[in-house]
Amino acid sequence: MQRQSLCFNQRILSQCSGARTVMGERYAFTAEWYDINASMIKRYQLLFYSADNTVEMFDIKNRRLFLKRSKCERVKLNDLYIGAIVNIHSRQLTIVDFGDEFTTKKLSSIKEKTFGLIKPDCVPSKMGEIIDRIISEGFIICQLKMVQLSSKEAAEFYQEHRGKSFYEKLVDFMASGPVVVFELTGDNAVTRWRELMGPTDSSVARQEAPHTIRAQFGTDVTRDAVHGSDSQEAAKREYDFFFGSKASNLRKNTDRIFQNCTLGLIKPHAVLDGQAGKIITAIRNAGFNISALQLYNMEKANTEELYEVYKGVVAEYSSMVEELTSGPCIALEITGDGAHSLFRELVGPHDPEIARHLRPDTLRAQFGVNKVKNALHCSDLLEDGPLEVEYFFKIMDS
């Protein structure tokens, strides 16, 4: 059966190969979709035509055309990499592999992955600025979350430094507060991320590479703002520690009881437009505490559950669901006395146009586009805040 599937894939690609020269380059990927009704994963050959942003899909198991070539404006070549979750006509697909030799050769180097970490000295005060710097350098943030390491976990993560003079100090520091961990994709990501970080000693970085992250935000050798993998092999190991098989044992955030909190949800259009770091910085500059953070790709069922109160009440309901399932969003837990009402004031009116006229300093006035793409969702009612925070950081994770 596997050999038949391989032959089928090759036949598909052979039949479509002429499109590379006639209609621009055609890229092939293997993608998976979880069919919730059948409780099974279905696998597809996904073809993307860069000349006109069209896609085509073939059902690998049943060896037949599943989706005729059609326009898909919201999917760009930059969105397509191994591990990416893309929305094709309201169906979320996970790309698990390149589909042919051409795509592998063309994209493997520019879709390289690496691992990064923002250290406790810059969380939460500078994490928005660092995230913004990463995005401005052309990296794609594929995974992102805030975690709290125990001393044992910090020691395990830095086990290659065991026995060195700075080891104990480093472990204690890394367990002293939350860290933000992320996976990056980009052209020669491992090398470029290390160049962007700068020398390990922040004082040396300020002299030799003043525009690097450690030069701008680091203090010394230990409190040097960020960590990055030094090879692809290290990136895979470190990614697995925080996002793979070992990740279930980590505390995602500091201990919380879902009280005195509210939800801030940075919508996909703002994330894809590179505004996430700026929004996080604006929230911090306004004096709010961000006690939890994580990137999610929302499925339609989850989004409809979150937005259930708007169904039949808000005219934009269907468009709101479509927007929130169109790409990655970033959930934030905002904590503190009066957090709910104060944060809603900062977010501003639902319609960004009204916000720009009446309250130009609000987040929706600055980052919103229209009533659907209005930068952020925030909890409507005081009692909704803890429930929505728990929905993301407890129920969604389970």
Distance between CA atoms of 16 and 69, rounded to whole angstroms?
A: 11
Catalytic-role residue among 89, 211, 227, 269: 227
In the chain, the amino acid numbered 75 is V
CA distances from 192 to 36, 196, 200 (A): 39, 6, 15
Distance between CA atoms of 209 and 231, rounded to whole angstroms?
A: 21
**What are the phi and psi torsion angles at 376 (to 5°)?**
-140, 150
CA distances from 245 to 218, 236, 240, 248, 283 (A): 31, 12, 6, 7, 33
Tell me the Ramachandran region of residue 148: left when phi exceeds 0, alpha when psi lies from -120 to 50, beta otherwise.
beta
Distance between CA atoms of 108 and 102, rounded to whole angstroms?
A: 10
How many other CB atoms are there within 10 angstroms of residue 285's CB atom?
A: 10
Verify whether residue 340 is a known catalytic residue: no
Residue located via tokens 């409809």: 304
Q: Which residues are catalytic?
A: 227
